[in-house]
Chains A and B, each alone.
Chain A
């Protein structure tokens, strides 16, 4: 095992890092706000909206992500009538699937965070004369985020690893290139390389999330 081989394998497996990171960032940026929106819908006064939100969360959490991806990419175009407008490109379909799925999980995390904010806080805010908007922005949200951050960190780290599911829609990424390398060379070292790549990515993600958590420590 010489250095050249190690470097070559890193280059080979690492070719997928760009796609993995793209999916990761796009999913995080889109699914967090969407998740929060769904949490708000779940507590809405309009009953149909509440039902839609709760059904959405149930569907997304109860079926495997792989199945959802297959459905979005292969199944949507088969719908009568609107099918032909729903033909998505591979990476687009992947993003849609990941964002919807993770938004559902984040919605539940935010809901848990909101529950953790003591009812007394709302009452105190009322006594102090704060408007509902001020209460939510300055009192409720910060406390909710403090409680939700560890769970959000959990989901984010899971997302880094879930990106490997892109293979089902034939979008090559780190693990896929590792598997190709293993089957064509017969050596298992590329798997080690893939493992190291994921470890490094998650090291950075964990560090960043910890720093964000610190900001909510009050």
Chain B
């Protein structure tokens, strides 16, 4: 190897070292910027953007009963979802924010992956689950569930001019629902579908509605609240809901098992909101009518 080649290799090693050093410096700068952001965000009353600052603030406040760290699914309109400005809004979101404001607690909205909700609650990363959480016996065992505050049902949505008018018309049709949802359970328990119906399970609700509009499936089994919202927003005139409903269920709020102090605080305030009509107002804003059914006594 001549002197020219040796210089080239050495150059490369030096340049690589410089690259690594400068990258490290940039990273340190970024980390410093990221570090100051959480401090700024947690001073905001309600973290609307739900971005990383809020995520960090919720971890830091684990077990801190002065903040209402609300674990929610930001992909479940109208209970909790994001609007055009990426702010987290929804019926449950507004209820939680109102309760927090009235109690003088800081509300940290934390969109979580809904499949990890038990982990988040039990690990103290969030202290309340508030997002269209159906009350089931299993959940009553593993979490501290509130009494029901909203009635829900599983409804069946079909195309406007479809020939399906009741449950028994579904025999032999293609039915779609969301995997592992309570629609799944409701369908399994309902004998009216018979063995001739074909079942399609999808990962999310929007693709079900798209399939329904195209005609790939004949009917969708889904939460009444979601169906009402979707049809108003996107399906007016093209879709309708059957009168027959399945599996009446109820939504509740969940706290970590044993956290009676926070549960009591929040639920008493919610009961007060029902009494003075605030809850009804919020319900009318989102559903057009008062659907809150909450009753609470210590």
Which residues in A have some Cβ–Cβ distance to B below 8 Å?
Answer: 8, 12, 15, 19, 22, 25-26, 28-30, 33, 70, 73-74, 77-78, 87-91, 137-138, 141-142, 167-172, 176-177, 179-186, 188, 215-216, 218
Q: Which residues of B contact A28 (CB under 8 A)?
A: 23
**CB of B206, distance to nearest CB on chain A (Å):** 5
B52 touches A172 (CB 8 A): yes
Produce 1/0 per residue, B69-100, CB < 8 A to A.
00000111100011111100000000000000
Interface of A is mostly: helix
B75 touches A180 (CB 8 A): yes
Cα–Cα distance between A22 and B31 once the two chains are bound (Å): 9
B13 touches A171 (CB 8 A): no
B20 touches A33 (CB 8 A): yes
User: Which chain B residues (38-63) contact chain A, with CB distance < 8 Å?
Assistant: 49-52, 55-56, 58-60, 62
A181 touches B82 (CB 8 A): yes
> Which stretch (B108-116, B271-279, B288-296) binds chain A?
B108-116
**Highest count of chain A CB atoms <10 Å: which of B5, B15, B31, B125:** B125
Question: Known pairs A73-B123, A188-B210. 16 more at Cβ < 8 A?
Answer: A15-B49, A19-B52, A30-B27, A73-B125, A74-B119, A74-B123, A87-B62, A89-B56, A91-B52, A91-B56, A142-B12, A167-B113, A170-B55, A179-B75, A180-B81, A218-B5
21 A-B pairs whose Cβ atoms sit less than 8 Å apart in the complex = A26-B30, A29-B20, A29-B27, A30-B27, A33-B20, A77-B123, A90-B56, A90-B125, A170-B55, A170-B111, A171-B52, A172-B55, A180-B75, A180-B86, A181-B82, A183-B205, A184-B75, A184-B83, A188-B206, A188-B210, A218-B9
Which residues in B have some Cβ–Cβ distance to A below 8 Å?
Answer: 5-6, 8-10, 12-13, 15, 20, 23-24, 26-27, 30-31, 34, 49-52, 55-56, 58-60, 62, 74-77, 81-86, 110-113, 116, 119-120, 123, 125, 204-206, 209-210, 230, 233-234
Cα–Cα distance between A8 and B60 once the two chains are bound (Å): 33
Q: Which residues of B contact A70 (CB under 8 A)?
A: 116, 119
Cα–Cα distance between A188 and B110 once the two chains are bound (Å): 24
Our pick among A138, A168, A185 for the contact of B6 (Cβ within 8 Å) is A138
Our pick among B13, B125, B209 for the contact of A142 (Cβ within 8 Å) is B13
A12-B86 contact, Cβ under 8 Å, with A138-B10, A170-B111, A183-B205: yes
Q: Which residues of A contact B206 (CB under 8 A)?
A: 182-183, 186, 188
Cα–Cα distance between A170 and B206 once the two chains are bound (Å): 21
**CB of B112, distance to nearest CB on chain A (Å):** 4
Q: Which residues of A contact B82 (CB under 8 A)?
A: 12, 177, 180-181, 184
Q: Which residues of B contact A181 (CB under 8 A)?
A: 82
Q: Which residues of A contact B56 (CB under 8 A)?
A: 89-91
Q: Which residues of B contact A8 (CB under 8 A)?
A: 84
Q: Which residues of A contact B204 (CB under 8 A)?
A: 179, 182-183
B30 touches A22 (CB 8 A): yes
Nearest A residue to B126 by beta-carbon distance?
A170
Q: Which residues of A contact B23 (CB under 8 A)?
A: 25, 28-29
**Highest count of chain B CB atoms <10 Å: which of A28, A171, A183, A188:** A183
**Highest count of chain A CB atoms <10 Å: which of B6, B49, B86:** B86
